[in-house]
Structure 1
Amino acid sequence: MIEGENDLMNRVPSRPPLSCRTSPPQGGRAALRVFLAAALFALASPVQAASVSDQFRAWLDADLWPAAKAQGVSRKTFDAAFAGVSPNLKLPDLVMPGEKPKPPKKQHQAEFGSPGNYFAEKTLQPVTSGGRARVGRVSQTLSAVEKRYGVPGEIVLAIWGRESGFGAAKIPYDAFEVLGTKAFMATRKDMFRKEVLAALTILQKGFATRAMMKTSWAGAMGQPQFLPTSFLNHAVDADGDGIRDIWTSTPDTLASIANYLKHYGWVSGRDWGFEVSVPDSVSCALEGPDRGKRISEWASMGITRVSGKPFPAHEAKAEGYLLMPAGRAGPAFIVTPNFYVLKEYNESDLYALFVGHAADRIAGGDRTFSGSWGKVGGMLRSDIAKLQERLEAKGYDVGGADGLPGYKTRRSIGEWQAKNGQAPTCFPSQALVRSLP
């Protein structure tokens, strides 16, 4: 999957329609100029949309069609895919032709917003209760999947529930409208170009009909929410009917999810991670998959499980990694390599943590984290990007100034704070923006 863009439970709202008043506002000539400018913009918008649509059709014929033809797509398939398709300018993360990309001001994706909101019971409960309700119904399939792929059934159920509400979520977008638009004018159009070409291959080879090609706003398909390349690489025919049906077949859906995780290195027999208490003597800047230690070493530094139980013996001997997704303002974890396999499904710490936590609840009953989430995550994405740029200018590796506070950003914040005599929090804040020159 791609970074955080397969979440059907938190849809991106369409842009509100531009409204303009029927009479000028009060306030003299300046107000009149504002009114006239707004009116002219409203009149120009359809023209701009028409121009983009014309450029889109020209791009399809001159650029995308030759690439599709080279990989074996027929003109008949290509024309059927894009018949009546126009660019959808309401999709997020688009760059108008001729403009340069800018980090979005607001955060569209729930996976990169406020951590506490992401783990609200109203979001967790449907996944955990729905997972438990389906354990008995699909037990035979889950047993076969776990035996073949080594992925626990509760992990597969948690992903299925999170991605599509166990197949109940509506998937309303046309695949070629979304993927075509993003391949033409998204901030990551090279990636979406590969996806739209893969979607054409799916259609050409008869793996799905044109009517079946419905996606999320980010182009992800079916109950597992696979991008087209993921479908080609990981989808499985588990029910033996000769079709890799991730749209209506539960066995195919569950096996495909597990196969995806196996292909990305799921380690059979290991957990995903443990909630822990981290003493002040252990720096939050030690976070990250590149700063791993044997779990027994973490324990020797004073890190303990919140349950009071010791780490399992087989885990203590293996490598683990510190995870503090809200810095000192939230729960902390020691995670295993399997946590980072979950991140291959959706490149977000919160997403992987949600899946692991929901799986634990499906298997062992509902319980919340011991640590509480502080009031963090309310900053604009554009403000975080500015903070990252300032840290980069000082030589810190923040993983890119994209406005997303990943582990490299969090630990860079902690390192800068410690160096400048501040108590490390390892999370962006408005106060930090003001204090970091």
Structure 2
Amino acid sequence: MGGSVETTERGFSKYGFVFLLIAVISCILTTPTRAAPIDDQFQAWLQTDLWPEAKSKGISKKTFDAAFTGVKPNLKLPDLVMPGETPTTPEKQHQAEFGPPANYFAEKIIRAVTTGGRTRESANARVLGLIEKRYGVPGDIVLAIWGRETGFGAAKMPYDAFEVLGTKAFMSTKKDFFRTEVLAALEIVERGLAPVNAMKSSWAGALGQPQFMPTSFLKHAVDFDGDGRPDIWNSTPDVLASIANYLVHYGWVRGRGWGTEVTVPTNVSCSLEGPDQGKTISDWVAMGIRRVDNRAFQASELKAEGFLLMPAGRSGPAFIVTPNFYVIKQYNNSDLYGLFIGHAADRIAKGDATFVDSWGAVGDLHRSDIAALQRALEAKGYDVGSADGLPGFKTRRSIGVWQSKNGKPATCFPDAALVSQLK
């Protein structure tokens, strides 16, 4: 018996070793090769993917190498997706609260723009006069945008534009968008419009004091000081004229303002809001809408088109805005941004008057709650724009229509009770 056991043990050891060896080899063969370091992947992408397209668009190897020598992907930038991974919605964005519109107009923030704007209006009066004469855009509007975007140039541009744009073109959630932008940035350098070392940007890749993306720079940047190139990093005349030129490109109407605060009678539905529901100013007046300062609309305005704007529905100020308001929104597609610029411009020109109507206590919902409400309205056939958790005008007026159809007072703004009813 002892011999039998010995033979069995030796036999197990012999064949067990063979099986173990086969298992190890199999494991090695079936385990994926470890991915190359991200820096190496980035460099390979630059040379085998981005460079061929850049070359086809007339970019020289000298320019390309100057832009990307020493550049590595910046993994601290937002909205990145590691190669091979699937994009996910960040939890903090999903659960972030939608702040009350009133927060956007905090006095400390808007006063910095208006006070700084008045100082610079005086210092740059001649240039602003020439810009308004050429482009038709009031200096107060240009100053308000300049102040809002970069604090009149005080905000630092700490990033290398090619690091930001290259990283995002390689691995962001919007690769195609940033690929176009990084190619445009290369064109800026190739054409001698700016040297590589001047290409400083924000974390989003926006350039200079007006915060232009590279494609916008190529379309709108202006050499207004006459030195031969548009310098939106250091030249105040170029910065101001470039902002005005941008607005003109998107349809700024010479001779009209942006809008004015009004009172809206209760019998006028807040669901009439939006740039696709314009009426002549005289029609709005016939419905009972009045300026809050009790002044009559100018006769020249009465035949012109205006639009109802109620950023907080019935829980905040209301406005009749002109097409120029929507031109301002081309700079930043937000009703609150457009209103901030218009309001700040008025204060630069006329003094620090606040809105007459006050902002209500709204905006205490999570963006995920608002997105759920938007999806519920979409399921009922309403056009809310997109279920992004932000109550834009399409969402606001859809809420108002739904409320009216269901026998409720139309507020045109989301609240917790409404979310519960519709979810």
| Same fold? TM cut 0.5 | yes
Q: How many residues align?
A: 388
Aligned to 2:149: 163
Q: CA 1:354–1:192 in structure 2 vs 1: closer, same or farther (change >3 Å)?
A: same
Please say if residues 339 and 352 of structure 1, whose CA atoms lie closer than 8 Å, have aligned partners that are also in contact. Answer: yes
Match 2:353 to one of 367, 382, 407: 367
Larger mean Cα displacement after TM superposition, 199-208 or 377-386: 377-386
Equivalent AA in structure 2 for residue 310 of structure 1: A
Say yes or no: does 1:84 pair with 2:70: yes
- d(CA) in 1 for partners of 2:275 and 2:73? 39
Q: How does 1:9-408 map to 2 (within 5 A)?
A: 51-106=37-92, 113-408=99-394
Aligned to 1:21: none
- CA drift at 1:96: 3.7
- d(CA) in 2 for partners of 1:177 and 1:334? 43
Larger mean Cα displacement after TM superposition, 384-393 or 121-130: 384-393
- CA drift at 1:180: 1.7
- For structure 2, list consecutive stretches of 5 or more residues without a partner in the other structure: 1-33
Q: Deviations over 1:378-425 (max 9, x none)?
A: 333333222222221221111112222211111112112222222222
Larger mean Cα displacement after TM superposition, 411-420 or 160-169: 411-420
Q: CA 1:393–1:96 in structure 2 vs 1: closer, same or farther (change >3 Å)?
A: farther
Q: CA 1:178–1:376 in structure 2 vs 1: closer, same or farther (change >3 Å)?
A: farther
- CA drift at 1:51: 4.5
Please say if residues 163 and 223 of structure 1, whose CA atoms lie closer than 8 Å, have aligned partners that are also in contact. Answer: yes
Relative to the length of structure 2, the TM-score reads: 0.87
- d(CA) in 1 for partners of 2:300 and 2:79? 44
Q: Deviations over 1:250-307 (max 9, x none)?
A: 1111111111111111000111001011111111111100011111111111111111
Q: CA 1:116–1:241 in structure 2 vs 1: closer, same or farther (change >3 Å)?
A: same
- CA drift at 1:193: 1.5
- d(CA) in 2 for partners of 1:175 and 1:266? 29
3-state DSSP of counterpart to 2:243: helix
3-state DSSP of counterpart to 2:330: helix
Q: Deviations over 1:115-141 (max 9, x none)?
A: 111100110011101111112211100
Please say if residues 276 and 306 of structure 1, whose CA atoms lie closer than 8 Å, have aligned partners that are also in contact. Answer: yes
- d(CA) in 2 for partners of 1:200 and 1:158? 30
Equivalent AA in structure 1 for residue 307 of structure 2: Y
- CA drift at 1:158: 0.7
Q: CA 1:59–1:390 in structure 2 vs 1: closer, same or farther (change >3 Å)?
A: farther
- For structure 1, list consecutive stretches of 5 or more residues without a partner in the other structure: 1-46
Please say if residues 103 and 382 of structure 1, whose CA atoms lie closer than 8 Å, have aligned partners that are also in contact. Answer: no
Match 1:420 to one of 403, 406, 413: 406
- d(CA) in 2 for partners of 1:372 and 1:398? 26
Q: CA 1:121–1:68 in structure 2 vs 1: closer, same or farther (change >3 Å)?
A: same
CA RMSD of aligned residues (A): 2.0
- CA drift at 1:240: 0.7
Q: CA 1:331–1:99 in structure 2 vs 1: closer, same or farther (change >3 Å)?
A: farther
- d(CA) in 2 for partners of 1:415 and 1:106? 31
Q: CA 1:341–1:405 in structure 2 vs 1: closer, same or farther (change >3 Å)?
A: same
- d(CA) in 1 for partners of 2:268 and 2:93? 31
Aligned to 1:6: none
Equivalent AA in structure 1 for residue 420 of structure 2: R
Relative to the length of structure 1, the TM-score reads: 0.84
Rg comparison, structure with higher value? 2
Q: Deviations over 1:181-205 (max 9, x none)?
A: 2222333322221111101111122
Equivalent AA in structure 1 for residue 334 of structure 2: S
Equivalent AA in structure 1 for residue 323 of structure 2: P
- CA drift at 1:107: 5.2
3-state DSSP of counterpart to 2:129: helix
Please say if residues 107 and 380 of structure 1, whose CA atoms lie closer than 8 Å, have aligned partners that are also in contact. Answer: no
Equivalent AA in structure 2 for residue 201 of structure 1: E
3-state DSSP of counterpart to 1:415: helix
- CA drift at 1:83: 2.3
Q: CA 1:104–1:325 in structure 2 vs 1: closer, same or farther (change >3 Å)?
A: farther
- d(CA) in 1 for partners of 2:184 and 2:100? 34
Q: Deviations over 1:54-94 (max 9, x none)?
A: 43333323322222111111222222222232332332333
- d(CA) in 2 for partners of 1:76 and 1:92? 30
- d(CA) in 2 for partners of 1:433 and 1:68? 49
Q: CA 1:153–1:405 in structure 2 vs 1: closer, same or farther (change >3 Å)?
A: same
- d(CA) in 2 for partners of 1:272 and 1:101? 39
